[in-house]
Chains A and B, each alone.
Chain A
Amino acid sequence: MKIELRARGEFTEWRDAAREALCAGVPPRDIDWNAQGGEHGLFDDLSPSPPWGIAPAKVQLSPAMGWGEGASVSVLGPPPHPALRATLSPKGRGEIRVPPAFLTLAEAVICHSDPARFDLAYRLLWRLQTEKHLLGDVSGPDIVRAHAMQKSVGRDSHKMKAFVRFKELPETGDRRRFIAWFEPEHFIVARVAPFFQRRFTDMDWIIATPKGSAVWDGDTLRTSDEAAEKPEIVDDTDDLWRTYFAHIFNPARLKVKMMQSEMPKKYWKNLPEAELIPDLIRDAEQRVRDMAEREASNSMPKFHAALQRRSFPSPPRGEGGA
């Protein structure tokens, strides 16, 4: 049996298909999970509706939404799966119960970019029906694999929270507007978007990625799983940030490996500060040498002398002549 999925991180898409397959008693080895939109498979006999793999209509961000110029990002409605929605009622035949921990795990696994994720998630669901304590067997190969995927999705989500960089767009209304371009490894945009909504509530923003985008306008958070295009925006504040990055670095403690394990190179191209890194590394040793060779100076600043003349602890009001 072949199951076609859009496979862009939407959990309900897999869940509905898996629920149906499980109710029909189809064992994992008989299902061929096929990522991304082809023709209909599993539900051919269940539903006469049009194939649900087709791309939903594109909605261009319109000036009317206050998001016109400067943002060349397309935003889509949620991908409709009419066939599934029509044929699967939640209270349909055979209710399936799973431990809450499975849902948490499967939701993460389905966001992973590995095409084998659907099969793995279904195998776990299948085994759970007879092995009630499956999830506790944390050293079992299937669970180990699922946990590894969950961890990878978690890490990618964490890095998205860390490495998204907003750039400001020209103001048009009373709310400030920002846009970010990010390239996640997995299909995590919808999963992580609420974090940005909770944090950047008082400004409008778009996060655009090749795996989907999210838009916040102060009222509604919308996400799409369609690929967006990279916007070209320049934000002058990036210069101040680069200044900070260069100066908070201590050349006497160079630890390049440590930096790279936490900030892998694949993220660098969208980080404004990353362009400084090669030079900072190259010059570090020389800077430390220079520091060591320069003897402590014998002259002291004037205000130090002034301070010394007065008795502590009632220092002068002068602050050194800023």
Chain B
Amino acid sequence: MKKSLRERLAVLSDAAKYDASCASSGTSKRDSSKSGGLGSTEGSGICHAYAPDGRCISLLKILMTNFCIYDCAYCINRSSSNVERARFTPEEVVWLTLEFYRRNYIEGLFLSSGIIRDSDYTMEQMVRIARDLRVKHNFRGYIHLKTIPEASAKLIEEAGLFADRLSINVELPTDAGVEKFAPQKHPANIRRSMGALKIKIDELSEPTHTKRRKRFVPAGQSTQMIIGAEPTSDATILKSSAGLYSNFSLRRVYYSAFSPIPDASKILPLTKPPLVREHRLYQADWLYRFYGFGMDEITAGKVDGMLELNIDPKLSWALSNRDRFPVDINRADKEMLLRVPGFGVKTVMSILMARKHRRLGLDDLGRLKVSIKKVKAFIEAAGWTPVSLIDRGDLRDMFAPPPEQLVLL
């Protein structure tokens, strides 16, 4: 018997939850006041709900179908899995997106799909959904399409005309990993697709004299890799990310802690997902993109190339580079202020502005909602010099969380 729409929605959102991204930010600003249609995007994305896993729900994140001809070991939808299967028609996806959007549940659609028949056939259906939303229904909300890497360049280009963001997953941090766990996927093809998309984005963002620029993937491309399914070190992962950022101008690399899936393949660890590790990788990624750190600085001297789990990577860097501290908050340049553990980008901007008016002390930082306890060992301020602190042998212990008492088995 054919499953009801609700039953299929259950299956196809279950199938989509292992995708980390739900971002709806960073696209072009637009709204419906002139068109009289539906939808807007206004810079920063909106999280319309949070699931108890702490993840933001911004988009209707579903698979068009979870039938798949590929057999990737880490994937819940691999062909050898006994997971329940379902499929939406393009019209159903369009309907769900619009009705969810009208009730203000979502910012838009994040559509992904198992591969049915072949890559082009699947991609064609996805493009049709995006085109119908934009053209037939005048929809101006956010659309993210997970591109099928082997699909033809023409289809990917067409997808880019309707989608805000396109992503192609590199799946695993190393080529060897992909070849082992996703034998039908080819890292070279994935990179070729990413490269082609980057070139197209660059080309179409060049202003021309003769005609208006086309809107093409305004929120750029992103990718995802699964962490913890195979034994790659953080240093290798982050190096690979740095390569992806610089080679393909990716907007984001998402790290997804490998999470046990129903009817998992026997070759994978059925352990708890390494959530803290995933968090540390995101922090490192942030330091690289917004704080001026090099990936090699972040992972330098780490045992087995692994980030420490008990302290964050910025603090870890500071503790191994004590000669760079203390930093005088009234004189130091922006670059160095950004490296102080406990200062965020906003705090640094506030300090730069406030110190034009007077010499700042610890109480000023307190009013800027900085944790004095966390920063005071690393800074000099009016009426404060931490000399003895930074040289302390037990400085590290002051920050690391207290050891947990062991429990009897």
A: residues with CB less than 8 A from B are 133, 136-141, 144, 158, 161-168, 176, 178, 180, 195, 197-203, 218, 235, 237-241, 243-259, 262-263, 271, 273, 277, 280-281, 284, 288, 291-292, 294, 296-297, 299-301, 303-304, 307, 312-313, 315, 317, 319-320, 322
Closest CB in chain B relative to A11 CB, distance in Å: 21
Contact B33 A198 (CB under 8 A): yes
Whether the Cβ atoms of B272 and A296 lie closer than 8 Å is no
Chain B residues whose C-beta falls within 8 Å of the C-beta of A133 in the assembled complex: 357
Q: Return the 8 tightest CB-CB contacts between A and B, nearest first.
A: A258-B54, A255-B54, A198-B31, A139-B364, A201-B32, A249-B51, A253-B53, A247-B13
B318 in the interface (beta carbon within 8 A): no
Interface string of B10-28 (1 = CB under 8 A from A): 1101101110000000000
Whether the Cβ atoms of A138 and B6 lie closer than 8 Å is no
B356 interface residue (CB < 8 Å to A) = yes
- Is there an interface contact between B103 and A165, defined as CB atoms closer than 8 Å? yes
CA A244 to CA B69, docked complex, whole Å: 25
Check B54–A257 contact: CB distance below 8 A: yes
Name the one of A166, A257, A281 contacting B104, with C-beta atoms under 8 angstroms.
A166
- B360 interface residue (CB < 8 Å to A): yes
Given A137-B354, A203-B38, the answer on whether A244 and B79 have CB atoms closer than 8 Å is no
A254-B53, A312-B184 given; A243·B6 CB < 8 A: yes
Contact in complex: B13, A315 (CB < 8 Å): no
Given contacts A139-B354, A304-B71, A315-B117, is CB(A273)–CB(B49) below 8 Å? yes
Besides A137-B354, A201-B36, 10 other CB < 8 A contacts?
A201-B32, A241-B103, A248-B16, A248-B57, A251-B53, A253-B259, A292-B260, A294-B263, A301-B82, A304-B79
A13 CA / B51 CA spacing, docked (Å)? 41
Which residue of A has the minimal Cβ distance to B81? A301
Kindly supply a per-residue 1/0 record for chain B positions 40-68, scoring 1 wherever the CB is within 8 Å of any chain A CB and 0 otherwise.
10100011111111111100111001010
Tell me the smallest distance from the CB of B151 to a CB of chain A, in Å: 13
Identity of the chain A residue whose Cβ is nearest the Cβ of B368 in the assembled complex:
A139
Query: Can you identify 12 A-B contacts, CB atoms within 8 angstroms?
Result: A139-B364, A139-B365, A162-B46, A178-B103, A198-B40, A199-B31, A201-B33, A240-B5, A254-B53, A259-B54, A299-B82, A315-B117
How far is it, in angstroms, between the C-alpha of A288 and the C-alpha of B259 when the chains are bound? 10
Given the contacts A139-B354, A248-B13, A288-B260, A201 and B37 also touching, CB distance less than 8 Å? yes
- Best-surrounded residue of B33, B80, B360 (most CB of chain A within 10 A): B80
Given A162-B47, A235-B103, A240-B9, also A297-B82 (CB < 8 A): yes
CB proximity of A173 to chain B, nearest CB, Å: 15
In whole angstroms, how far apart are the Cα atoms of A203 and B38 in the complex?
Answer: 8
- The interface residues of chain B lying within 8 Å CB-to-CB of A284 are 52
Q: A138-B368, A139-B350, A300-B80 are in contact. Are A161 and B53 (CB under 8 A)?
A: no
Closest chain A residue, CB of each to CB of B19: A248
Cβ of B27 to closest chain A Cβ, rounded Å: 14
B161-205 Cβ-contact flags toward A at 8 Å (1 or 0): 000000000000000000000001000000000000000000000
Question: Any chain A CB within 8 A of the CB of B35?
Answer: yes
Q: Residue on A with the closest CB to B15? A: A247
Whether B273 pairs with A253 at a CB distance below 8 angstroms is yes
Known contacts A243-B6, A296-B263, A136 near B38 by CB under 8 Å = no
Contact with A along B343-382 (1 / 0, CB 8 A): 0000000100110111010001101100000000000000
Report chain B residues within 8 Å CB of A288: 260, 272
A202 and B40 alpha carbons, distance in the complex (Å): 12
Query: What distance in Å separates the Cβ of B214 from its nearest Cβ neighbour in chain A?
Result: 23
B42 cross-chain contacts in A, Cβ below 8 A = 195, 198
**Complex contacts, B56 vs chain A, CB 8 Å:** 262
Whole-angstrom CA separation of A319 from B350 in the bound complex: 57
Residue with the highest number of chain B CB atoms closer than 10 Å, among A141, A202, A251, A291: A202
Across the interface, B262 reaches (CB within 8 A) one of A161, A244, A294, A299, namely: A294
Contact between chains at A255 and B52 (CB < 8 Å):
yes
> Is the pair B60, A244 in contact by a Cβ cutoff of 8 Å?
yes
Contact with B38, one of A165, A202, A280, A281 (Cβ below 8 angstroms): A202
A289 smallest CB distance to B (angstroms) = 10
> A162-B48, A258-B50, A301-B81 in contact; A252/B103 too (CB < 8 A)?
no
Is A137 a contact partner of B357 (Cβ separation < 8 A)? yes
B39's nearest neighbour on chain A, judged by CB, is A199
Q: Which of A199, A248, A277 contacts B40 (CB 8 A)?
A: A199
Across-interface contacts of B184 in A (CB, < 8 A) = 312-313
Question: A187 CB to closest chain B CB, in angstroms?
Answer: 21
User: Would you give the shortest CB distance from A27 to chain B, in whole angstroms?
Assistant: 23
Residues A250 and B118 in contact, CB atoms below 8 Å apart: no
Please, how many angstroms separate the alpha-carbon atoms of A297 and B350 in the complex?
57
Q: Nearest-CB distance from A135 to chain B (Å)? A: 10
Asked if B391 is an interface residue, CB under 8 A from chain A, the answer is no
Closest Cβ neighbor of B273 among chain A residues: A252
Contacts of A296 in B (CB 8 A): 263-266
Neighbouring A residues of B259 by C-beta, 8 Å: 250, 252-253
Contact, CB under 8 Å: B33 / A254: no
Q: Which residue of B lies closest to A203 (CB)?
A: B102
Is the Cβ of B104 less than 8 Å from the Cβ of A319?
Answer: no
Closest to B356 in A: A136
B104, A255: Cβ atoms closer than 8 Å? no
A315, B69: Cβ atoms closer than 8 Å: yes
Please determine whether B46 and A178 come into contact, CB atoms closer than 8 angstroms.
Answer: no
Identify B103's interface contact among A166, A201, A258, A320, CB under 8 A: A166
User: CA of A300 to CA of B37 in the docked complex: distance in angstroms?
Assistant: 47
Least CB separation from B271: chain A residue: A292
Chain B residues with Cβ under 8 A from A239's Cβ?
6
Nearest to B270 among chain A residues (CB) is: A292
Residue of B nearest to A258 (CB): B54
- For A300, the chain B residues whose CB sits under 8 A away are 79-80, 82
Contacts of A281 in B (CB 8 A): 52
B159: CB under 8 A from chain A? no
